[in-house]
Amino acid sequence: MVVPELGPWRAARPHVVRIANAVRPRLARAVAAAKPRVARLARAGKPQVTPRSKTWHHTAVAATAGLALAAGVVTAAGPWDSSGQRTAERDRAAALARAGGADHGRAPGAPARPRPAPSAGPVLTGLGGVSTVKSAPDGKALANALTPLLNDPALGPRPAAAVVDVTTGRHLYGTNPDAALPPASTTKIATAVAALSAMGADHRLTTRAALEPDTNEVVLVGGGDPTLTAREAIDGWASLRVLADRTAATLAQRGVREVTLSYDTTLYAGTQKHPIGANPNLALVSPLMADEGRTNDSSSGPATRVTDPAADAARRFRDFLGSRGIKATDPGLSKATTRAKTLAEVSSPPLSALVERMLTNSDNDIAEALARQTAIATGGRGDFAGANRAITAQLRKLGLPVKGAAFKDGSGLNRAGRLTANLLTALLTKAADPAHPELRPALTGLPVAGFTGTLTARYTDGAAGVVRAKTGTLTGVNALAGTTVDQDGRLLAFAFLANNTTDPDAAQKALDKAATTLARCGCQ
């Protein structure tokens, strides 16, 4: 599962201009259709939310209001700035004051670490809610457009697909939509929704240093933050160096210059090794790690990992303390007592930012951490089995169709996992539900076709900038699930699952062609 890195935005500007010209007509139609609704909303003041139904279907009334305003921003701000960023995304994100800035990483050996690219704002996801002129695509016309593409032999003998109108929750198309198939990394959409619903978008993960009373034992307590970094450039993530700064300062105030150093990993239970075994796609699942245990300076994609992430982080912490005047012993495994007093702590960015980074980069380490955090937050055991139960329970609590689903991890690396196309589209639709704003990062974190994360090098023509989707790839498995805006400005959620594929490149192209066709389809 090689994750393509994000190229420099400025270098992409010529391509961006071409895409802007391609999508400008549909933006204009959407804005024109939105004007009456925006005027009514301005008079009404507070949007009214339609009561939730007992099923996962819903009407995104309040979403329509915000999305209509988002479409207006596109026209008012102009499509692109000089750096190649959509200006509407930048301005809208600032207006919403939402956390973003997913770290898209860099390739091993690159000369300089790029600044985090701005996470795609809700502009593209929003256009579907503003169309009041055109109705949703006709199911028969949609079937005529998609069925021949999904019958491509490259997608295996029995692909599954579902398309839903996000505004109404109405199913528009399906082929084997309830077939439970290996979903690969599209599993991360379910992990995102479960974690956000269990902990909230503002939740943070904290790593701390504690001092045992009447001793000079300092315990580094892992809080399950997979984004903790030991690097000098922290880019907004929690820093082990900063924790050492604060710990050393507090110890110095107490006149302590020598300590016994221990580290605590008891937040998680069970085995740390993923069922697939040692793999460059993820480290051991530990509540204490720095830079995901990577042995190079990468921040995404496969990399050789240290054999013990927790011990490695503790040794780094010891070295940082030493450079700050605190002599520490070689660290040993321990458990902080309830009497231990916190000396210092550092916290991750909000959960919304972690979810965005996980989805954009298809980050397996974050996915497994959030799965276990979901279990812990809901009173379960922080191991693989507990995480799987917790994800299922959270989705069921949200009224989502979990029949046939089987969660075996949070990342989708386990081939025994099963999801349905109906569940994936239901997850995406639920994330747009105005009654669940805490779930929105499950949409805003999706890679943007031709621009970010795992879709950077895909959709160089056609649906670039219009499709946002999570990819899924294992040997013999290809999947794609996300959202797109069709020619009439309707926001559609889709999921395509293909198994027993023999040519991954051909399967990927077939899925991209189906998504592009959906984006180009008025299908009335």
Q: Which amino acid is at 202?
A: D
Based on the residue annotation, tell me whether 362 is a catalytic residue of this protein: yes
Q: Which of 131, 188, 352, 408 is catalytic?
A: 188
Pair of tokens at residue 485: 């805006």
Residue 135 burial (CB count, 10 A):
12
Strands (E), 432-514: 468-474, 477-485, 491-499
Instruction: Tokens for 457, please give them.
Output: 């090098």
Burial of 245 (0-12, 13-18, 19+ CB in 10 A): middle
Please say if 348 is a catalytic residue. Answer: no
Distance CA 289, CA 368 (A): 13
Q: Answer yes or no: are the C-beta atoms of 471 and 144 closer than 8 Å.
A: no
Q: Which of 119, 334, 362, 411 is catalytic?
A: 362
Contact 436, 236 (CB under 8 A): no
Place of tokens 């009335």: 524
For residue 313, give the DSSP letter. Answer: H
Residue with tokens 């398309």, as numbered in its chain: 163
Contact assessment for residue 306 and residue 293, using Cβ atoms and an 8 Å cutoff: yes
Report d(CA 421, CA 177) in Å as an integer. Answer: 5
185 catalytic? Reply is yes
**The pair of three-digit structure tokens given for residue 482, joined into one six-digit string:** 């996300």
- Taking the C-alpha atoms of residue 430 and residue 478, their distance in angstroms, rounded to an integer, is 23
- Which position among 119, 131, 185, 262 bears the catalytic label? 185
Active site residues: 185, 188, 362
